[in-house]
Amino acid sequence: MNYFSGQIYRLKKIHVIGHPFHVLDEIDSTNNYAMEQVNSGQVTSGTAWFTSNQTAGKGTRGKQWLAQPGDICALSVALQPAMLPLSRQFMLSISVALATADFFASYAGDETTIKWPNDIYWRDRKAVGMLIENVLRGNMWQYAIIGIGLNINQAAFPPELPNAVSLRQITGKTRDTSSVAKELCTFLDKRIRELQPASYEALLQEYTSRLFRWQQPALYRKDGEIFEGIIRDVLPDGHLCLEKNGEILQLGFGEIEFILNR
């Protein structure tokens, strides 16, 4: 995610996330579709698009999010981030991660964590991925497209995804993915409304305290080297502070790989 400095984009009114809520029978990527709708100028802040049949879902750094129809909940929300300047862009990522972790933990329990910067893990397995894309006009942050893909009803995953997990595998139950998406919208709405300057520090502290591997020695890879490190902090701009041999590395997105025991 790139960082910019700029003005706050003001809204005349606060819109509720998930109103309106559009169901797409099949789509390549809900984020692509949401971006097209935003660029057409026919969208209000809070509009959501859902599908359980996404044929070419996007993840961070160009990764694809693939699943069988009915297995996943793919949700994209168009948001005018009126409450944030671009210099505080990472706060939106924090709020989305906290909201999604809140939702997932309500079913999967307190072993739900946030893998920096914003994947949702259960134990040491990935349950949710997300991607936030931005629409800028000059130095104005006009829209954020919040894309979230949740593993809901998969009974099993292919060998190339050894660390994936679904809510069905955790709880033993299948769920209606449209209902899941609507419920997630309510969690997002609550957390987004907390995004006020007086709350930034508390939200960042809560986010760091719920991180996967928080303050725990674990293996990482950087520039081809595997080493033991400890997550010590996350800075307001999103940089990860990782202790290595008594020194603190400040790492941006994509600069470090978590080594998982699989």
User: Which pLDDT does position 161 carry in this prediction?
Assistant: 87
pLDDT bucket at 140, cuts 50 / 70 / 90 = confident
User: Which pLDDT does position 58 carry in this prediction?
Assistant: 53
User: Which pLDDT does position 71 carry in this prediction?
Assistant: 87
pLDDT bucket at 138, cuts 50 / 70 / 90 = confident
User: Which pLDDT does position 10 carry in this prediction?
Assistant: 38
pLDDT average, residue stretch 192-209: 95
Return all residues near 120 (Cβ < 8 A) that are at least 6 apart. Answer: 97, 100, 101, 104, 112, 113, 114, 126, 127, 128, 129, 130, 150
pLDDT average, residue stretch 147-171: 94
Specify the pTM: 0.90
pLDDT average, residue stretch 150-159: 94
Return all residues near 2 (Cβ < 8 A) that are at least 6 apart. Answer: none
Q: What gap in Å lies between CA 60 and CA 165, rounded to an integer?
A: 18
Closest CA to 79 of 92, 88, 90, 91: 92
Q: Of 10-14, 118-122, 231-235, which gets the smallest average pLDDT? A: 10-14
What are the structural domains, with CATH classification, of the chain?
21-209 (3.30.930.10), 217-258 (2.30.30)
User: Which pLDDT does position 137 carry in this prediction?
Assistant: 81
Phi, psi of 30, deg, nearest 5: -65, -30
pLDDT average, residue stretch 173-201: 96
More confident residue, 81 or 57: 81
User: Which pLDDT does position 18 carry in this prediction?
Assistant: 96
pLDDT surpassing 70 at residue 59: no
User: Which pLDDT does position 160 carry in this prediction?
Assistant: 86
User: Which pLDDT does position 62 carry in this prediction?
Assistant: 47
Cα atoms found within 13 Å of the Cα of residue 91, Cβ hemisphere only: 22
pLDDT average, residue stretch 95-101: 98
pLDDT surpassing 90 at residue 179: yes
Pairing of strands 48-51, 72-79: antiparallel
pLDDT bucket at 87, cuts 50 / 70 / 90 = confident
- Distances in Å between the Cα of 170 and the Cα atoms of 20, 30, 109, 116, 133 are 31, 26, 10, 22, 30
Give the rounded distance of the alpha carbon of 36 from its chain centre. 20
Is the separation of the CB atoms in 222 and 256 below 8 Å?
yes
- Mean per-residue pLDDT over the chain, rounded: 89
